[in-house]
Structure 1
Amino acid sequence: MQILKTIEQLQNIRKTISSNVGFVPTMGALHDGHISLIKKARLENEIVIVSIFVNPTQFLPGEDLDAYPRRDEADKRICELCKVDYLFMPEISTMYSKEEVLIKAPNKSYILEGLTRPGHFDGVLQVVLKLFGIVQATNAYFGKKDAQQLSLISQMVKNLFLPINIVPCEIVRENDGLALSSRNVYLSTEQRSEALLISKSLYSAGALVAKGELNTTIIKNKILEIMKNLDVEYVAIVDREFNEINEIELKNSIILIVVRFGKTRLLDNIWL
């Protein structure tokens, strides 16, 4: 595995590659969820490139940019074990100049995750577009846990006619059901135990749908009942275009949950 720090290094190597390139963009602190993306990319492409870059423009003032977990040496070892070909680890000064061409996310970026974090998705799309331009990948791999982000990136690729295939990948969970997240390390033992109610509520919602219940009000009330003792930021039931719906549309619906544990926000969802 070769570690690259500059855009020029990566672009020069990219010019020598004629086969399929799978790309996994990350912010580091790699866990089994990231590993599942890398393994899928490894299975489906001749060359695999992973990036690690904690992107400052997607953090709002007061958020955890400085405290965001950074484990560079462990991440390098994980990428080696996953047989990554190239690991791109740029500095902030490499990715951003003083004169930026800003990206404006569409209106649906200001609901749900974007409602309490206005401008967050502008920063996400900004850095993803830059990385796509540098890497020139055939396929890019993103987890379904960040469902709104996945939707917006897919829409950007479509709207800007980018020659890249977005590959959605399933959520990876701990054995007890907790969705993997780099921010799980912030949880106390008690908070982690309480967080299991998130996946429990989603499983219960899925069971209701399997029994034929499609009314989103009934499903949402069941979810809130299970999580009644948690600090629930939102529960939303939407179609794949992120429009709120009154009835579940099978193969076109997502239930999304965000819960706060102190300063830590945990996201989870189920695709129906």
Structure 2
Amino acid sequence: MARKMKNICVMFFYTVLLCTVFACSSVPMNRTTEKDNLLIFRLNLRVYEKKIRKDPDNYRLYYEWGNYYCLSGYYNAALADINKALQIQPSYEEALLLRGMIFICKVQYKDALADFAEALVLIPDDDRVYNNRACLYIQLGDLEKALRDIDTAIELNPKCALHFKNKGQIRYRMNDYENAVLNYSHAIRLNPKSAETYFDRGTAYEMLRRYDAALSDYRKAASLKYRVSDVYFHIGVCCYRLQKYGDALDAFTEAIKIDDANYIFYEWRGNTNLALERRNKAEVDFDAVKRLMANASLQ
């Protein structure tokens, strides 16, 4: 059975921002180093500090600062600034939406529900609130409520690719793979450059055992720089199912380059080496599986 890591996207303001609430290892798509990122982060914080010193009662500045912390993964610091913004302006709907998202990332689901409910009182026709709450209901395992909310989001904004992508996620989790494909396809028509949506549709095709279609989507995702180990793993699985063992071997090797601590990748590459009658190589891979599983059991 192919491994699958799903990402539910949360949107909370009209500038582009996606937050994955399922973990996913990835390789940066640019050449910015960790040192460069830290330098940029500190410089930007200095800018916000100067602005707030000049205008300490500007709730929008606290919102912007909290948003920046959120983007950088500092959720506690983000929460403190968003709370400050709401203390100054309790009816600031953008801050409520952002705080709800932060609560999702901190696994404080009841608090997130409360914020989205309050946001709906202020902005009852805003599709973003329904989208975010749908994602929250998925975390709570209530797929029927999630589906109702995402349908409302689509009704309010039928040109938003993200809503159809998330509906595809919900249908996937309902094991309704055909409808998942239909919704992912609609999302791709609205946004044909979304690598993640191609990947997600590929997983639905894979569950339907339509390996050629899945392989095409995974390769498209890779060409759009979807640089996570999973995409190469799934390329490998599809190639293996299609008995394209040479291509499968290359794909599993690429996945291992990105994530060399995942024993599943070595296991599949070992089986592929066996299919190619490369028994010595297979033994090396299976030894790696044993070593990694032993290390995992000690943690």
Name the TM-score, length of structure 1 as normaliser.
Answer: 0.26
Name the TM-score, length of structure 2 as normaliser.
Answer: 0.25
- Structure whose residues are more often helix by fraction: 2
Give 1 or 2 for the bigger CA radius of gyration.
2
